[in-house]
Chains A and B, each alone.
Chain A
Amino acid sequence: MRAETLKGHLDGILLAVLEPGPSHGYAIMEALRARSGGQVDLPTGTVYPALHRLERAGLVRASWSESGGRRRRVYELTPAGRRALEGERSTWRDFSAAVTALLQPLPPPAASPS
């Protein structure tokens, strides 16, 4: 799935990936691939600016931590991030229900008696 297809939904997707607990950039990308069954496969480098934007908006907080001799920037949801995720879910449910209904093929018109 290309980045353009995800436009407008990436923030919600990243918040959902972070919902189970704190995670660092590469692990977030791996979770994103795994949870989408490989459908979402963005260039990993472009996910970091999106995480920084969420941090600036107060939806995630980030801190450097060290494990296994490597420093990593770890992200976790803030309470505002959890509320935003609920909002994204609700918006997506309404949107997908509406689009599904619209894309559904209409039943063929009943043959008129001649």
Chain B
Amino acid sequence: MTAQPDTVRPATLRWGWMAAGLGLLIGAVLLGVVVGPAKMGAGQVLRELFGSLIFDSPSDLTATEQAILWELRLPRVVLGGLVGAMLAVAGGAYQGVFRNPLADPYLLGVAAGAGLGATIVIVSAGDGSTALLPLAAFVGGTVAVAAAYVIGRSIGGRSATTIILAGVAVAAFFTAMQTYLQQRNLDTVRQVYSWILGRLTTTGWREVLILLPYVIVSAAVLLFHRRLLDALSVGDAEADALGVPTGRVRAIVVIFATLGTAAAVAVSGLIAFVGLIVPHTVRLLVGSSYRSLLPLSMVFGATFLILADLAARTVASPAELPIGVITAFVGAPFFGLILRTSRRVIS
């Protein structure tokens, strides 16, 4: 194993990249707030935003335009940022804890479990009342990962590979049940699909308030473990020798990455690729030290998803596109380009 310069050098947070990332994020937020299917002047929007926040001087926006801005557009931008940050940091943490570049937040069956939970609610609520959907998706996602973890440990002890394989098996099983339910109830198939493809159409600030505590707690825990993830990246045996409790670190990271991911999936559906391409892109830009990787993944993940949602809202305006389609369609080729142009190797 030839250690890369970046992992050897005592890496601290790369502040230059962080500043650039935050600048991009602010730009994406402003763009996301100003641009949308409803045409409102950029100046008016900004004056409405900052005027009422700072100067208390009202803008010329009509009541409807104010409602569009404050109750539809802004919560959607904030939600996109939270979901993107959460999926990206969880993906980065998973890749570290399993030392597997293909790991993403859905690796251990969160997506399949949440999909089953959501489908059960959509199918069984004959009148379509889907108030329970976020809860069911959250429970389904966490149950699936817990099952994968327990099964994996019972077979292979602490080996990361058996946990991943158990995750694959659990995901296949949950997906089978989800598909069965979906096909038996094809009258609700559009609702199921529209959830699976992911969407950030909010019901105001409710989703943001549901998601926020999970993102804060799980991101804090993951960021707190970023040095241990660096130690873990040299291998279980070596990490043990350094005195790192590998089993416990892995369990903690999986638990909190799962909680955050399940909460994100519960409010936004299954948005593909963010947890895979954002951490890898960051890794290729700044190196593979988790000290930089995790915080930068959050910032870039938020930026990426806000811009992807902007595209989902405006490309076919006034129609909407599913955001999961945008993230995969734009994200995959972009990722390929990054891989191609970079000389560095994924650790």
Please determine whether chains A and B interact with each other in the same assembly: no
Residues in chain B within 8 A of chain A (CB atoms)? none
Seen from chain A, the residues whose Cβ lies within 8 Å of a Cβ on chain B are: none
